[in-house]
């Protein structure tokens, strides 16, 4: 990787933070994966969460992101990585679990900054601009007894996310949380 490439990665790719660590820990703790299971991490960023799953679970792990810089970084981490908008290119009923740490910060439209870091962080005015379409689409690619692990923040409105998930046939249970001065992060496990 050249210096120019490294600069692009550092400014254009979300690097692991508290939300990434909480999500990876929760999935590793909860998921009883088997060797023929296939897991998908949507919005992999640096590849940290997918890398933890690949290291600590026996399953095959696919990483994806809409951001080409993230796809490149995750591939350099040795992950099987696909450039994708949410789950659009994937076949029906294939994933035993789908994991997502979405962009969730509520953002005033006048303060949007229009770059890849905005795509990583901003959830639009209500924080759910990416979460809601994800919840509408993810059921299609999930195996019948599969589960979704979704990182949510108190800033995003956890009850609203649970209600929206219910609209798409999912029950939700919070399986991990961590509080910070300005927000509480939770991992929701969604199942049908
Ligand atoms: C908060 S970052 C999380 C990155 C990484 N998974 C982690 O936990 O460190 C959100 C990621 O979702 C990606 N993303 C945003 N919108 C997306 C979409 N429509 N489809 C796929 N990925 C998306 C962003 O590019 C970014 O990498």
**Domains located in the chain, CATH noted:** 3-191 (3.40.50.150)
Calpha distance 117→105 (Å, rounded): 12
Which residue's structure tokens are 């799953």?
Answer: 53
Cβ–Cβ contacts within 10 Å for residue 184, how many?
Answer: 14
Q: Which residues have any ligand 1 atom within 6 Å of their CB?
A: 14, 16, 19-20, 23, 42-46, 48-49, 65-67, 70, 85-86, 101-103, 119-120, 130
pTM over 0.85: yes
Query: 169: CA distance to ligand 1 center in Å?
Result: 24
What pLDDT is attached to residue 9? 57
Model pLDDT for residues 66-118, shown as the tens digit of each residue: 999 999 999 999 999 999 999 999 999 999 999 999 999 999 888 777 899 98
What pLDDT is attached to residue 111? 77
Model pLDDT for residues 142-171, shown as the tens digit of each residue: 999 999 999 999 999 999 999 999 999 999
What pLDDT is attached to residue 8? 54
Q: What does residue 57 show for φ and ψ, rounded to 5 degrees? A: -120, 150
């Amino acid at each position: 990787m050249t210096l120019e490439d490294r600069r692009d990665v550092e400014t254009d790719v979300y690097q692991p933070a508290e939300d990434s660590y909480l999500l990876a820990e929760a999935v590793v703790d909860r998921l009883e994966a088997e060797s023929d299971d296939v897991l998908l991490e949507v919005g992999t960023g640096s590849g940290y969460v997918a890398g933890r799953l690949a290291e600590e679970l026996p399953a095959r792990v696919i990483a994806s992101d809409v951001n080409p810089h993230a796809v490149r970084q995750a591939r350099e981490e040795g992950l099987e990585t696909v450039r994708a908008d949410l789950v659009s290119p994937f076949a029906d009923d294939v994933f035993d679990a789908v994991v997502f740490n979405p962009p969730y910060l509520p953002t005033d439209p006048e303060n949007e900054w229009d770059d890849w870091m905005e795509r990583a962080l901003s959830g639009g005015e209500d924080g759910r601009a990416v979460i809601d379409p994800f919840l509408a689409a993810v059921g299609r690619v999930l195996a019948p007894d599969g589960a979704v692990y979704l990182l949510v923040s108190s800033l995003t409105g956890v009850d609203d996310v649970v209600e929206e998930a219910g609209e798409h046939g999912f029950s939700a249970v919070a399986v991990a949380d961590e509080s910070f001065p300005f927000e509480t992060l939770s991992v929701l496990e969604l199942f049908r």
